Amino acid sequence: QVQLVESGGGLVQAGGSLRLSCAASGRTFSTYTMGWFRQAPGKEREFVAATSRSGGDTAYSNSVKGRFTISRDNAKNTAYLQMNSLKPEDTAVYYCAASRRYLSVKGLDYEYWGQGTQVTVSS
């Protein structure tokens, strides 16, 4: 069992930055691919980024590539999402999730989810 708690969301102006954190419980954090997803009002949940167990491999959606950076610190059981050059269309609830699948971009492959943190980007 893995419990995930996101933090770091908030209100920011377009062009600004935020760093989201995802703290995981348990001793098995390093055995999971960690992913970030987001869901905007009235829209389906979408993949944002994922990092492999070691953090050596990453994947990004085209909409955030070059602006967002996913990372993890296995010693601290924490994953991060650094978001730069934020745009109003990045406004959403952001969720972190854990998967046994290698670097999956599919939400259905993720077994554990956090409660989400709101990110709002004003124009």
**Torsion over CA: 36, 119, 81, 63 (sign):** positive
Q: What are the distances in angstroms from CA 95 to CA 42, 51, 123?
A: 16, 14, 23
Is-contact 80 22, C-beta < 8 A?
yes
Task: Please report the pLDDT score of residue 18 as a whole number.
Answer: 98
Under DSSP, is residue 42 helix (H, G, I), strand (E, B) or coil? coil
Task: Please report the pLDDT score of residue 112 as a whole number.
Answer: 96
Can you tell me the distance from the alpha carbon of 83 to that of 66, in angstroms, rounded to the nearest whole number?
10
Task: Please report the pLDDT score of residue 27 as a whole number.
Answer: 78
Give Cβ neighbours of residue 36 (< 8 Å, ≥ 6 apart).
20, 22, 48, 49, 50, 70, 79, 81, 94, 95, 96, 97
Is-contact 84 103, C-beta < 8 A?
no
Which residue numbers in the chain have pLDDT < 70?
none
Task: Please report the pLDDT score of residue 52 as a whole number.
Answer: 97
Task: Please report the pLDDT score of residue 88 as a whole number.
Answer: 97
Can you tell me the distance from the alpha carbon of 120 to that of 23, in angstroms, rounded to the nearest whole number?
21
